[in-house]
Amino acid sequence: MQNRKTPGSSRRKSAGKSHGKSPGQILRDEITRRRFMSGAAAVGLTFGAAPRLGWAQEEKELNFYNWDTYIGDTTLEDFHEATGIEVSMSLYADNDELFARLREGNPGFDVIVPSDTYVERMILADMLMPLDHSKIPNYENIAAPFRNNVEFDPGREHSMPYMWGTMGIGFRKSRTASPDSWKVVFDSDKYSGRIAWISEAVSMMGQAAMYRGYSYNTKDPDEIKAVEEMLIAQKPHVKVIAPDTGQDLLLSGEVDLAVEWSGDIVQVMAEDDDLSYIVPKEGGLLWEDCLCIPKDAPHPNNAHEFINFLLDAEVGAEIAETIRYATPNEAARELMPEDYKNHPAIFPPEEVLEECESALYRGEEVTRMLEQSWTRILSA
């Protein structure tokens, strides 16, 4: 989620189906929604045809490759109703899986949702299609900090901002003290057997580096080795290394602390008042997720139309209301209730953001070093 130092907004559309629900009502439906999304991953979501409002001599189809629990309840159906385009959605667990799946060629996806540094990696590897901004007029809804001086994609030539947030610790208040340091999950036996890590090499290595006082973006082999050794020593106290499902493990009571993305924990906080989220004092990752069209997408016009739809103000507001991540869509944020705009886990105070660090792409050599370290951690 990544040049991430500024609050913003997001994307989602309402056809009136859940518009009018309170955020709490919507979020209490999250378990059902997650079951629905898991089914979508297995069989693909498809919706029947209707007259299409678009540019193209293309099939009325779109293949969307997305993170789990990262779309509104009715967004895809609303898009179908507006355009007649059928959407099939597949899910991936992390950026590493996304990159590996597309590295040998696009198997047929039209829109993907990589994080900032992976956008840069994909640009350098010639894996992304340049965007036609004339087909994305809703780009004007995006807040200025997400439009200008975007280091990983200057001029937004290959990406549109989707969501942003932080990485921190989700925890159960009744069974833990407030974890104000990364020490409790990276360097302590205090909560042995009650900890979940997220299975993303670069993010986990970066957060552990920040705990040790290094930069999230360290390139120093000695520092990376020290992080590796610390995590190997901690691993016996970790119950599970989860594919972005730490929030579910917290909700079910299987763990009491989880290294996770802010929005995922905010979702389950609405279902269980005993859950909370914190960015520890050493700071956390400040990220941005993006909408991109992979090279050789079979339906590029449909892909532009879909991205423009997601950047609509009402669509963006309903998505943000459902998934509870921070939206870079300024027009959407204006439509949101105060309990979203002022939620400290969604939009952290400035003093918290000042301690956060945005991820930078450090080149293939450092990336390989991190991935090799992570492989040794997993096999230890």
| Residue 6: pLDDT band with limits 50, 70, 90 | very low
The enclosing domain of 217 has a CATH number of 3.40.190.10
Q: pLDDT, tens digit, for every residue of 236-270?
A: 999 999 987 899 999 999 999 999 999 999 999 99
Residues 321 and 362 in one domain: no
Q: Do 141 and 174 contact (CB within 8 A), yes or no? A: no
275, 269 in Cβ contact below 8 A? yes
CA 289-291-294 angle, to 5 degrees, is 120
Residue 11 is assigned to a structural domain of this protein:
no
Confidence band for 210, pLDDT divided at 50, 70 and 90: very high
State which residues form the domain around 64: 23-164+287-347
SS3 sequence, the chain?
CCCCCCCCECCCCCCCCCECECHHHHHHCHHHHHHHHHHHHHHCCCCCCCCCCCCCCCCCEEEEEEECCCCCCCHHHHHHHHHCCEEEEEEECCHHHHHHHHHCCCCCCCEECCEHHHHHHHHHCCCECCCCHHHCHHHHHECHHHCCCCCCCHHHCCCEEEEEEEEEEEEEHHHCCCCCCCHHHHCCCCCCCCEEEECCHHHHHHHHHHHCCCCCCCCCHHHHHHHHHHHHHHHHHEEEEECCCHHHHHHHCCCCEEEEEHHHHHHHHCCCCCEEEECCCCCCEEEEEEEECECCCCCHHHHHHHHHHHCCHHHHHHHHHHHCCEECEHHHHHCCCHHHHCCCCCCCCHHHHCCCEECCCCCHHHHHHHHHHHHHHHHC
In angstroms and rounded to an integer, the radius of gyration of the C-alpha atoms of the chain is 20
Averaged pLDDT, 208-225:
98
Cα within 13 Å of Cα(346), Cβ side: 27
Range among 9-13, 15-19, 347-351 with highest mean pLDDT value:
347-351
In a domain, 18, yes or no: no
Query: pLDDT tens digits for 165-206?
Result: 999 999 999 999 989 999 999 999 999 999 999 998 999 999
| Same-domain status, 372 and 263 | yes
pLDDT of the residue at 35: 29
- Shared-domain flag, residues 75 and 201: no
Total length of the chain: 380
Q: Which two tokens stand for residue 85?
A: 């385009």
Residues 259 and 374 grouped into a single domain: yes
Number of structural domains, the chain?
Answer: 2
- Which pLDDT value is given to residue 68? 87
269 part of a folded domain: yes
Question: Angle at Cα 188 formed by Cα 212 and Cα 229, nearest 5°?
Answer: 55
Q: Does 153 lie in the same domain as 299?
A: yes
For the whole model, what pTM was predicted? 0.78
Residue 380's contacts (CB-CB under 8 Å, 6 or more residues apart) are 232, 235
- pLDDT number for residue 69: 84
Same-domain pairing of 267 and 334: no
Residue 4 lies in a domain: no
The rounded mean pLDDT for the chain is: 86
> Averaged over 117-135, what is the pLDDT?
97
Confidence of residue 149 (pLDDT cuts 50, 70, 90): confident
The token pair that represents 298 in the structure block: 């079979």
Q: Which of 49-63, 73-87, 347-361, 364-378 has the lowest mean pLDDT?
A: 49-63
Could you read off the pLDDT of 295-335 as tens digits, one per residue? 999 999 999 999 999 999 999 999 999 999 999 999 999 99
Q: What is the pLDDT of residue 148?
A: 75
Residue 287 is predicted with a pLDDT of 95
Neighbours of 365 (CB within 10 A): 10
Residue 9 lies in a domain: no
What's the rounded Cα separation, in Å, for the pair 283 and 353?
8
Q: What is the pLDDT of residues 36-82, one digit of tens each?
A: 333 333 334 433 333 334 444 799 999 999 998 899 999 999 999 99
